[in-house]
Amino acid sequence: MANKKYLFLHEVTEQIKSKEAKKYVADELGYHLQEAKKLWMDKGLPEAEAEEKAIEQMGSPSKLGKQMNKLHKPKVDWFMIILLVTTLGLGFLPLVSLGYMEDTRHFSIVKGVTVLLGATVAVGIMLIDFRKWKTWGWLFFSLGIIFLLAIRFFSNTMINGVPLLRIPSIITLESSMALPFFFLSWASFFSNERFKIWQVIILFFIPFLLFFSVPSIANTFMYTCMVIVMLWWSRFSRKTILAIMGITFGLFMVIGIQFLKTFQIERILVYLNPEKYSSGVGYLILRVKELMGKAGWFGNPVNKEFIPSAHTDFVFVSLTYMYGWLFAIALVIILSLIMVRFIVISNKIHDCFAKLLLIGATALYGVQLASNIGMALGVFPLTSISLPFISYGLMPVLLNSFLIGMVLSVYRRKDLISTRFC
């Protein structure tokens, strides 16, 4: 009797090319066969005959398998792929505009390697079944903590005020490498129905304080925004979420302020009154304001003026000054389309873990985009948050490529995941 059911399912799944879809279809059809079998047994048929009737109702296994193969074929979001390729290509523009590509081959080689690695990460993550990571929350959280502890206590070099752990001739580690691990861990935690409020508060503050003590306000800010947004869309009630946010803010004011360095406090004061510090750090804010005012609609491609960190932190300023506000608006639209695509896909997904991944990715990507542009417009204080894919640097590109890869992974399997709401 069991052999008939097995043979039927085997013949159906033989028509399906995707290994992931084979298991999903076998489980789905097995469930429907069991339900149909119960109905026939309730009508008085013996078990063996009821199963035969249930299998017969399904129709031709070969035809059914072909239909299932078409229905559950892994999807590729080509629009997202086009956006990824476009933004990775635009990342070369600041180097070309500033003449770095002509002056030395170093920048072109490093940028080329960065783009290739970014594309590889995005495609590689897309091919991985994200559902396997749902129960790995504690592992990812532990790996993130280990990274931060290594940076906190063993960093041996500084670049632009950012502490790094450089392992000679092998790799350079920085605190932003911990963000993907916390991103995956919080998606796992918030999709766990047994996760408690006190766990949220304690587990949030451990990485928060480590990020702050590294020190890295930029990564602390990104991490905080990500967790808060994911918390807001979790299964907890709005009342509970507001209570958690209140407790978190209170602890931040009491504990977090203790970790602020002198230069970090100065940045906040400079943002509030840059004219007062015009001979020091305030010069940057006033200089950025001046350059943005000179940009005009079509820019100044001929006039070359000094722009601090023109290819990294202030890349949006340099591109706006050189190519004008029309180009800047077009660039913002292109970069924003990635976030819009994240949101569109998330609205089609109802599985709790998958939806939290999409929401967390939207938060992490969005806070980078908003912060860098806001800094250029004088809305946000000076930070070292990069403009996604456009700023020069390996880690920001890998981080955002990882986020796009996760979204592509969810989209690829959107017809193979459950419909359980958060």
Of 126, 134, 222, whose CA–CA distance to 175 is shortest? 222
Asked if the model's pLDDT at residue 373 lies above 80, the reply is yes
Report yes or no on 420 lying in a domain.
Answer: no
Is the link from the previous residue into 396 a cis peptide, with omega within 30 of 0? no
pLDDT classification of 388: cutoffs 50, 70, 90: very high
Residue 182 and residue 42 in one domain: no
Residue 19 and residue 153 in one domain: no
Residue 217 and residue 365 in one domain: yes
Q: What is the domain range of residue 49?
A: 2-71
Select the more confidently predicted residue: 37 or 252.
37
Domain's final residue, options 50, 71, 92: 71
Q: Quote the pLDDT of residue 262.
A: 58
Residue 25 and residue 85 in one domain: no
Asked if the model's pLDDT at residue 420 lies above 50, the reply is no
C-alpha 385/C-alpha 373 separation (Å) is 10
Asked if the model's pLDDT at residue 66 lies above 80, the reply is no
pLDDT classification of 339: cutoffs 50, 70, 90: very high
Asked if the model's pLDDT at residue 1 lies above 60, the reply is no
Residue 221 and residue 333 in one domain: yes
Mean per-residue pLDDT, 38-44: 78
Q: How many domains does the chain have?
A: 2
Domain's final residue, options 71, 100, 131: 71
Which range scores top for mean pLDDT: 88-97, 106-115, 157-166? 88-97
Q: Quote the pLDDT of residue 362.
A: 97
C-alpha 278/C-alpha 287 separation (Å) is 9
Mean per-residue pLDDT, 55-59: 77
Residue 130 and residue 161 in one domain: yes
Q: What's the token pair of residue 177?
A: 């490498």
Of 251, 165, 260, whose CA–CA distance to 203 is shortest? 251
CA of 255: how far to CAs of 89, 259, 403, in Å?
Answer: 43, 8, 31
User: Per residue in 294-305, pLDDT tens?
Assistant: 888 888 876 677
Report yes or no on 47 lying in a domain.
Answer: yes
Select the more confidently predicted residue: 154 or 289.
289
Report yes or no on 421 lying in a domain.
Answer: no
Of 350, 384, 347, whose CA–CA distance to 362 is shortest? 347
Select the more confidently predicted residue: 258 or 389.
389
Q: Quote the pLDDT of residue 328.
A: 94
Torsional class of 259: left (φ above 0), alpha (ψ -120 to 50), beta (otherwise): alpha
**173 beta partners:** 165
Domain's final residue, options 48, 71, 94: 71
Of 384, 402, 380, whose CA–CA distance to 393 is shortest? 384
Residue 104 and residue 55 in one domain: no
Residue 25 and residue 157 in one domain: no
Which range scores top for mean pLDDT: 13-22, 181-190, 257-266? 181-190
Q: Quote the pLDDT of residue 47.
A: 76
Asked if the model's pLDDT at residue 376 lies above 90, the reply is no
User: Per residue in 225-249, pLDDT tens?
Assistant: 999 999 998 888 888 888 877 877 7
Report yes or no on 174 lying in a domain.
Answer: yes
**Residues 282 and 270 sit within 8 Å (Cβ to Cβ):** yes
Exposed/middle/buried for residue 137 (C-beta within 10 Å: 0-12, 13-18, 19+): buried
Residue 124 and residue 261 in one domain: yes
Report yes or no on 239 lying in a domain.
Answer: yes
C-alpha 90/C-alpha 80 separation (Å) is 15
Residue 144 and residue 180 in one domain: yes
Name the one residue in this structure whose structure tokens are 């938060």: 363
Residue 62 and residue 175 in one domain: no
pLDDT classification of 37: cutoffs 50, 70, 90: confident
pLDDT classification of 116: cutoffs 50, 70, 90: very high
**Residues 74 and 24 sit within 8 Å (Cβ to Cβ):** no
Report yes or no on 418 lying in a domain.
Answer: no
Report yes or no on 419 lying in a domain.
Answer: no
Report yes or no on 348 lying in a domain.
Answer: yes
User: Per residue in 192-208, pLDDT tens?
Assistant: 888 888 888 889 989 98
Mean per-residue pLDDT, 109-114: 87
Asked if the model's pLDDT at residue 86 lies above 90, the reply is yes
Residue 285 and residue 343 in one domain: yes
